[in-house]
Amino acid sequence: MRGRCGWFGVGAHRARGRIVAAGASLRNGPRALGPLRGTLALAFATMLGGCQGGASITVDATVPSPLVDPIRASMGVYFDDSLLNYVHEEELEDYGAYRIDIGASQGPVFARVFNAMFEDLVPVEPADQEQSDEGATTDADAPAPIRFVGTDGSSPVVDGIIAPSIVEVQFAIPDQTGGDFYEVWISYKLALLDGGGNNFGEFPLIGYGKANERNFGQLGQQTPALHEATTWALRDAAAELSFRFRDQVEVQKWLSAIGVEP
Amino acid sequence: MKFPQYTLKRNLGLVFVVGLGAGLASTGCVQTTVQEVRQADTQIGTGESIVILSRKHKTQGETEDDFVTCVSDSVNSGAGALPILSEREFVDATFPWFEPRTAPLNMEDLATVINRPLIARRIDDIGVRYLVWIEGTTERTDESGSLNCTFFSGGIPACFGFLSWESGSNYEAAVWDVERGMTVGTLSSEAAGTSFVPAVVVPIPVIARVREKACANMSDQIKTFIHPDLPSLRAPEG
């Protein structure tokens, strides 16, 4: 394992054991240093803090509005609670517990991107089951359409509905990979439905972000580095979505069906 | 007598910190090399600016953020200062066209991007004339020796040993003229130096600040490249 912490951050000998030993010496040391003792103790405590594994981050970010030509369509958009409250928790053997809370970013990021991608955006939510059953088709083979209503309960007229969800989050730290980067992958699935609530496809989307550990100090770098990597992953997902959405075969068929030039 | 003993220990601690600080203030020798290849004339008009960017698509050897910031700040200040738009402001203004996965890698790609009306208008709005793509890193090599520090009884810190390492910076910059859609030149800045830390009780670090030197040289090169009429910004080193 590469040493992730070191005294002064220089030298051929960077080992966890040495710092712990130094810390022990400090704890047992007498009080003769006077005013310097507190400063040095704080410095050592900071160094020791830098050696601890794990991190907990909350990413509350958004992205710039993408420079793309909007699709001439009225689009319903649905964010479910599992998306808006998404937290990834993982215990890495030897490296500690990690918690990445990205739920708060999802609404602002997707709203910003969809606002640029579509001429008109309408927040929707699934109607309750009773409402949904009204007017349901009797075709047993086809999946039943999902009925969506506006957030005020109205019946919006939309050309389609898009509902993103997170499939999986993965991350890696430099100690694991031997590289320079903290890395984060966010795998999304965007359900695509027509205006009648019939599913016509899915758009898989992966956002990847990395943060160069060299851009962060030796001490306590995990939290800001993972935060930056996650922010870049969100940004990458937003970029990919705004770039690639029109290229999807299902999307092009849907655009043709609603009379919009792909 | 307790009082003199306390004073002695306190003073030793102060000597330790002052010695360390004095060492940090001293710098080791740095050898530098700069090169320039000009492919076209350059000039910058009123309201036009430069963006200094790093490549972020690589899996290794990504240019450090603080190097890009250092070059941007240096180009934007001092003699021959040029107007700079920060990397973040530029990539936000042109989102998502200059992201790590989507940024154009050559002039052909750039032409495709900037010929899109939305992008052309935005670049015109923010007044960017030149994109300077920086690649390269500073690496530490050949570390040798060791340094051991401890607290003696009485709480006096002390270090013993000798530590040395070599550092090398190697950066290249490609200058793109957005208006004419062409590469106007490439610049390179290399720096190398040896740092060492001798310690007999007090460590005295003598650091070769290679990255800072590479940054200063690259910044001066960019200024004189964009403004060829500018007199040489630094006296030759002896």
Amino acid residing at A1: M
DSSP per-residue string spanning A194-254? ETTS-EEEEEEEEEEEEEEGGGS-SSS-HHHHHHHHHHHHHHHHHHHHHHHGGG-HHHHHH
Interval A208-252: pLDDT, tens: 999 998 888 766 688 999 999 999 999 999 999 999 999 999 999
Could you say which of A7, A12, A67 has the minimum Cβ distance to residue B144?
A: A12
Question: What is residue B156's predicted lDDT score, i.e. its pLDDT?
Answer: 81
Question: What is residue A150's predicted lDDT score, i.e. its pLDDT?
Answer: 84
Q: Alpha-carbon distance A143 to B15, whole Å?
A: 79
* Region B212-217 average pLDDT: 96
Percentage of chain B modeled with pLDDT above 70: 85
Residue B17 has pLDDT above 50, yes or no: yes
Q: Buried b / exposed e across A146-179, counting CB within 10 Å, b at 16+? A: bbbbeeeeeebebbbbbbbbbeebebbbbbeeeb
Q: Are A7 and B205 within 8 A, CB to CB?
A: no
Contacts of A18 in chain B (CB under 8 A): 148
Q: Per-domain residue ranges for chain A?
A: 1-52, 53-257
Interval A71-119: pLDDT, tens: 999 999 999 999 999 999 999 988 999 999 999 999 999 999 999 999 9
Could you say which of B65, B96, B153 has the minimum Cβ distance to residue A215?
A: B65
Chain B CB within 8 Å of residue A216 CB: no
Question: What is residue A11's predicted lDDT score, i.e. its pLDDT?
Answer: 35
**Contact of B186 with B156, CB cutoff 8 Å:** no
Q: What are phi and psi of B172, to 5 degrees?
A: -130, 145
- For residue A36, the SS3 value is helix
Strands of the sheet with A87-92, listed across from one edge: A55-58, A96-101, A87-92
Could you say which of A31, A35, A238 has the minimum Cβ distance to residue B96?
A: A238
Q: What is the pTM of this model?
A: 0.79
Q: What is the fold of A53-257?
A: Rossmann fold (3.40.50)
Strands of the sheet with B182-203, listed across from one edge: B30-38, B182-203, B157-177, B128-151, B49-54, B84-85
Could you say which of A64, A215, A238 has the minimum Cβ distance to residue B64?
A: A215
ipTM: 0.78
Interval A117-142: pLDDT, tens: 999 999 999 987 655 555 555 555 66
Chain A CB within 8 Å of residue B141 CB: no
Question: What is residue B222's predicted lDDT score, i.e. its pLDDT?
Answer: 96
Contacts of A232 in chain B (CB under 8 A): 100
**Contact of B107 with B183, CB cutoff 8 Å:** yes
d(CA B220, nearest CA chain A) in Å:
24
Provide the 10 A C-beta neighbour count for residue A123.
Answer: 16
Length of chain A, please?
262
Give the model's confidence band at B81: pLDDT under 50 very low, under 70 low, under 90 confident, else very high.
very high
Contacts of B97 in chain A (CB under 8 A): 67
